[in-house]
Amino acid sequence: MSTVASRHKTASAPRRGGFWRNPALLSWLFVLLTVALANAIFLTGLRSSSPMTYYSGLASPSPGSLLGGWTIDPNVGWTVESLGRAAAHQWAEGDVPLWNSYEGLGQPLAGEMQSAALFQPFIMLQLLPNGVFVMHVVLEIFAGLATLAFLRRFGLGWVASTVGGCLFAVNGAFAVMTNAPFNPIAFLPLGLLGVEMIRAPLQRSPDAHAPRRGGRRPWAGVAVLALAIAWMLFAGFPETAFLEALFIGCWALVRLGQARGHRLAFAGWTAAGMVLGLALAAPVLVAFLDFMSWGSTSYHEAVANDISYPRRQIMSLALPFAVGALNNAVLRLQAGYLTLPALFMALVGLTGTKRRGIRLLLAGTMIVLIGNMFRFEPIKLLLNHTPGIKAILVFKYGISILEFAVVIAVALAVDDLARRRVSRRRTLVCASLTL
């Protein structure tokens, strides 16, 4: 009796240092630390993070030690900050920011989208000093933690999931594309998390006669997917949101094929999450469609996807600053980048034997986006026949999707390494392909 009691006491006693050994806590801290280090030059005040300093013409930043810029698009100041702060001030005064009376004779504020006027609660961060920078940092943290949660739900270990979360929190698109397309990127992993949360409770246990795992309907997954879709649209850049929704749809289709025994339920709940997300985003969709009924979209009308990067620029995709500072002749308008270590690990991840359907989806996504990016005509023709694609600068805004696919592949590689599934031969082949 005393032996049983002592064992129970020992088992229930907290371990010394157990708080810091919590893998979830450590993973969150690693993501936060990564974002802090990536933004250290601005967080410490060594350089100004205010777009007004760089692009208003009212001030001039002090010269630094290196040439180049910190963004590819001055619209971070001209639209994101100016219109975003105007929207935030209207919210603070109790008004819904539908109209901008300070632009010409007046212009729609919510309907023109790039202000992200209805992007609650994130838009309110613009009321703070350096509000655009604060909002971007919060979105980077959100993206990293959502990626971490998604990869854990996908079934990867803590180390692999943490690596993925850290990588996507500081991806190349976040680093250089700080205008309106920045905002929706953070919600791509949240959408995939919703799909995985819908799938989990529907899975049957290994025993065919046993009830489904959890024994409940996937309401939480539907809610997460709906929030992801809604926030993508409220975030203020429908092109990025549309491309992300396509990737989420492709992911859901692959998981549907793997959902034996509950395909109809999985499809229904996933569709419900997407429809609910569109319903939540109805205010911004109505404003946007009204604006589009008379607004000018210039070359976005029909031929946007005919534009590509010059093929010499493919070098800078994985070696971004080996060709010089940002905005030079080679790096001009490149809305993100990869790195050689990430490319190598992604190749290791793509050549694994587990989860083949997902690995094929990731490989196909990379091939299609890179082929379109550098004008491989069969891929360009294929995408131009996809409804809605022809009017989007896929070569530019698709880079964030490419980066996320690479991040998932890297996480798969780290997980394979942790489980000792990577052979020396596979490593050498992937290293050779990278070189």
Structure confidence at residue 16 (pLDDT): 53
Structure confidence at residue 5 (pLDDT): 47
The three-state secondary structure class of 100 is: strand
Q: Are 223 and 279 in contact (CB under 8 A)?
A: no
Token couple for 48: 């100004």
Give the count of beta carbons closer than 10 Å to the beta carbon of residue 339: 16
Sort 102 into a burial class: Cβ within 10 Å, 0-12 / 13-18 / 19+. exposed
- Integer angstrom CA distances of residue 75 from 56, 298, 348: 11, 17, 38
Q: Supply the pTM of this predicted model.
A: 0.88
pLDDT values of the chain reduced to their tens digit, one per residue, 435 residues:
445 444 444 444 445 556 667 888 889 999 999 999 999 988 888 887 888 888 877 777 777 676 667 788 888 888 898 899 999 999 999 999 999 888 888 888 888 888 899 999 999 999 998 889 999 999 999 999 999 999 999 999 999 999 999 999 999 999 888 888 999 999 999 999 999 999 888 775 443 333 344 446 789 999 999 999 999 999 989 999 999 999 999 999 999 988 888 889 899 999 999 999 999 999 999 999 888 888 777 666 667 778 888 887 888 888 887 777 777 776 777 888 888 999 999 999 998 888 889 999 999 999 999 998 888 888 888 888 888 888 888 888 999 999 999 999 999 999 998 888 888 888 899 899 888
| Residues contacting 377, CB < 8 A, separation 6+ | none
Residue whose C-alpha is closest to residue 115's, from 137, 98, 95, 140 = 98
Question: Residue 264 is which amino acid?
Answer: L
The three-state secondary structure class of 107 is: strand
Per-domain boundaries in the chain: 296-435
Structure confidence at residue 50 (pLDDT): 82
Q: Are 379 and 371 in contact (CB under 8 A)?
A: yes
Residue whose C-alpha is closest to residue 338's, from 394, 400, 251, 393 = 400
Structure confidence at residue 212 (pLDDT): 46
